[in-house]
Structure 1
Amino acid sequence: MEKTWRWFGKKDKVTLDMLRQIGLEGIVTALHDIPNGEVWQLEDILDMKEYIEDAGLKWSVVESLPVSEAIKYGGKDRDRLIENYIDSLENLGVAGIKTVCYNFMPVIDWVRTDLDYKWEDGTSSLYFNKVKFAYFEIYILEREGAEKDYSPEILTKVEELNKTITQAEKNELVDTVIVKTQGFVNGNITSADQHPVAKFKKLLALYDGIDKDALRQNMKYFLEQIMPICDEYGINMCVHPDDPPFQLLGLPRIVTNDEDINWLLNAVDHPCNGLTFCAGSLSAGLQNNVPEMAKKFAFRTKFVHLRSTNILPNGDFVEADHLEGRGHLIDVVRIFEKENPQLPMRVDHGRLMLGDGDKGYNPGYSFHGRMLALGQIDGVIATVRNELQANN
């Protein structure tokens, strides 16, 4: 597997020189300054590519070229935005960049309730607390019908939390769910927005009347429109699973399990329509056996995210050590090294450790935590390769 790293452009506090020194081969990045829906111009793409190559690395994967909301919900600007997307893909193809990771999650890109969950060893990680998220839906968003999505036990705990939660804790929950985990990825809401809850509600309202079948058909329409340009330039579009892989906020979710992935790969059965296999996202769903899915979908996987989670008895989930948890990364690496060995992979969501907490890194993307994970996974890959060579 090709060792890559998600890098957030020239303003990233982690420099390309640092990444070269820790053994990276490829870079996963995007043109983060270009607003969603606008065309990525060829000169901007080439400038970024040259900057990366001058550091002795290569631009391996685009993550991501965001799919605008109107494409997802089928708004009046859909066709214009798809044309812009096609133009961006063509420019990427001309520049020789052939792998694009994207998602089709409405409004939200990924969700956690805690960005600094403390471990006994002094490190911290990302965490999803069902009670806190239910509180967010019911009392902060005031989403109509939200109570129906939760068990009586969860609702009882929400009422208990409502009696003790402080305004500062409410503000932190809004900042975590709406701003910090969204702004640096898809740009729908940023720290500059003065009223994030109100804006978030407006985004949710765009999906009124859009159920799972409708979202699936909108995704199929999008893929059918872009496949000709992908075919012309050999661009692999690889969809990222929903994170977490279950329903939230009354929104449809269509990349959560084996059946969903089967559907999307068969709905547009083209070699360029592929999968980003994110072991971490998939492992957060009890319905998913991650190694079995890796084996089943290896032939259509174009990019791999290696991280893992643990699901707690109460339904919460937490980022796990990269050698532990439901992601079973050793098994996953063994499968991909055997079935599809040249894939780019990146480690993901490292712990905060060794003073990284005050560096201002994007949530889940600290330097030392990911460097530790890279070292662990690099050792796994080397061991698996030795196994395969010995058996041949």
Structure 2
Amino acid sequence: MNMTFRWYGRGNDTVPLEHIKQIPGVKGIVWALHEKPVGEIWNKDEIKSEIDYIASFGFHAEVVESVNIHESIKLGNNERDYYIDNYKQTIRNLGEFGVKVICYNFMPIFDWTRSDLFRALPDGSTALFYEKAKVETDNPNELIEMFSSYSEMTLPGWEPEKIGRIKELFIAYEGMTNEDLWENLAYFLNEVLPVAEESGIKMAIHPDDPPWSIFGLPRIMTGRESLQKLLSISDSPSNRITFCTGSLGVNPQNDMVALAREFASKSPFAHIRNVKLFPNGDFIETSHLTSDGSIDIKGVMRELSDIQFDGYIRPDHGRHIWNEKCRPGYGLYDRGLGIMHLLGLWDAYQTLK
């Protein structure tokens, strides 16, 4: 197991690499060129600069999250080949500098979606919260205003240039079905996977968050059947999954232990986090402890241990604790606690072998 920590770059993260270095067991930094507009080629000098900086603290930079997919590719319009060619060149450039995994998603318009960025938990901490009744409408304006007003840092998936085109994008997606989106994903993968193979990179798709349709938009990476379908698009060793317990786990029909047993070997990258589900469909992020949420984190880690999982793993969305002022879900303290919990489970299960 290769423990990593997601970091948003110099000048765009409250957590410095100096502090991450003090978390035992962290080997690598999960990074991206977050200020790069979606669809542009990541140039070699930009990549080298960021990787050299990360390496100066003793970390590897073998996982990128994310090289975002331009909406033209998801829409399958007449501009998609231009942006796919740009994506191919970015893959080649990243491969030259030792990147092994690119995490990406194929969610139309929006990335992860929550209704509250700082909802209070009983212990006094706050966390990301999803209120089903508020989100599952045909009008995203209230959420758009919330995300766009959060000006302390950019929020991945909610880039200002995209928010300014929301109405235009909704019109473009009118009438698109899940099957249409699957066809556009297959077209993209059939184009980029040969380049990824040549570059020694695995393309690891992230499940939709949450894994169901919002605002009438199609979403396709939602559970066991969709993971199987994704893998059936191509038998390329570069066609892989990012195994995210929190994204898939908010649907109670997704048994995360069973999914880990079936798909961990096809997942070079894992996000491990816990969420508390409520009967009305709401959910909130919690600590990584199994007892604090609704996902059997202990069982998932046992499955990873049983197969001697040698991929990359990171804690995911943490609570905001001890008055830390940080990017929503991505502070230092609770993710540091999450790492120690995950490493403790791993060590215990490895000892039992």
What is the TM-score normalised by the length of structure 1?
A: 0.85
Distance 2:294 2:122 in 1: 20
Q: Using a 3 Å threshold, how does the CA distance of structure 1 residues 128 and 186 change in structure 2: closer, same or farther?
A: closer
Residues 180-219 of structure 1 aligned to structure 2 (within 5 Å): 180=150, 183-186=154-157, 188-189=159-160, 196=163, 199-219=165-185
**Larger helix proportion, structure 1 or 2?**
1
Residues 130-145 of structure 1 aligned to structure 2 (within 5 Å): 130-134=132-136, 137-138=138-139, 141=141
Distance 1:317 1:60 in 2: 32
Distance 1:340 1:276 in 2: 17
Distance 2:281 2:147 in 1: 18
Distance 1:77 1:96 in 2: 30
Distance 2:171 2:76 in 1: 13
**Structure 1 equivalent of residue 113 of structure 2:** 111
91-100 or 367-376: bigger deviation: 367-376
Deviation, structure 1 residue 366:
1.2
22-31 or 203-212: bigger deviation: 203-212
- Which one has a bigger Cα radius of gyration? 1
Alpha carbons 1:178, 1:200 under 8 Å: kept: no
**Structure 2 equivalent of residue 149 of structure 1:** none
Q: How many residues align?
A: 348
**Structure 2 equivalent of residue 53 of structure 1:** 55
Deviation, structure 1 residue 178:
5.7
**Structure 2 equivalent of residue 17 of structure 1:** 18
Q: Is the aligned partner of 1:3 residue 2:30?
A: no
Q: Is the aligned partner of 1:375 residue 2:340?
A: yes
**Structure 1 equivalent of residue 192 of structure 2:** 226
2:145 partner amino acid: D
Unmatched tracts of structure 1, length 5 or more: 142-169
1:370 partner amino acid: R
**Structure 2 equivalent of residue 351 of structure 1:** 319
Residues 79-118 of structure 1 aligned to structure 2 (within 5 Å): 79-118=81-120
What is the TM-score normalised by the length of structure 2?
A: 0.94
Distance 1:183 1:108 in 2: 14
2:185 partner amino acid: M
Distance 2:256 2:328 in 1: 24
Aligned-residue sequence identity (percent) comes to 37
Distance 1:123 1:320 in 2: 9
Counterpart pick for 1:252 among 218, 221, 224: 218
2:275 partner amino acid: T
The RMSD of aligned alpha carbons is 1.9
Alpha carbons 1:107, 1:188 under 8 Å: kept: no
Deviation, structure 1 residue 237:
0.4
**Structure 2 equivalent of residue 235 of structure 1:** 201
Alpha carbons 1:275, 1:300 under 8 Å: kept: yes
1:211 partner amino acid: T
2:348 partner amino acid: T
Distance 1:370 1:259 in 2: 30
Q: Using a 3 Å threshold, how does the CA distance of structure 1 residues 112 and 295 change in structure 2: closer, same or farther?
A: same
Unmatched tracts of structure 2, length 5 or more: none
Alpha carbons 2:289, 2:297 under 8 Å: kept: yes
Alpha carbons 2:110, 2:158 under 8 Å: kept: no
